[in-house]
Amino acid sequence: MYSCAKLVSNPALVRGGVCLLSRPASIPLLSYTGLRTEQLMPAPARGIQSSVTCRDIDTAAKFIGAGAATVGVAGSGAGIGTVFGSLIIGYARNPSLKQQLFSYAILGFALSEAMGLFCLMVAFLILFAM
């Protein structure tokens, strides 16, 4: 608290006002004794310019993102294989639970397939909507 009060009560900051506080922190604020208005005016900002290189980088990022989202489709295929493999093993161990095991397998298949379709949808959104 003492350092805040000392900073606010500094005469250089009081003379410079808010313009001093808007300058970058790399400039030593307390070393200025007399400030001119030219020094306080910020430099004009450059507009964002789109170039061929920036567009190429954006296109590459789209393809990388779509490829990463497509990996989820492969995960969905592995999940479906695991679900039906477990169905066969469960049916071989206890044939009397055929109906209940099959309903669980269909539920697992539907959830795995939905996740794969969601990943594919995200890949297409990255490619064509952005």
The boundaries of the domain holding residue 16 are 2-40
Could you tell me which residue, 6 or 126, shows the higher pLDDT?
A: 126
Number of domains into which the chain is organized: 2
CA distances from 45 to 40, 41, 49, 125 (A): 15, 12, 12, 33
CB 66 within 8 A of CB 126: yes
Q: Are residues 7 and 36 in the same domain?
A: yes
The confidence band for 5, taking pLDDT boundaries of 50, 70 and 90, is low
pLDDT at 18: 47
Q: Are residues 70 and 21 in the same domain?
A: no
Q: What CATH number is associated with residue 72? A: 1.20.20.10
Kindly report the pTM of this predicted structure. 0.54
The confidence band for 112, taking pLDDT boundaries of 50, 70 and 90, is very high
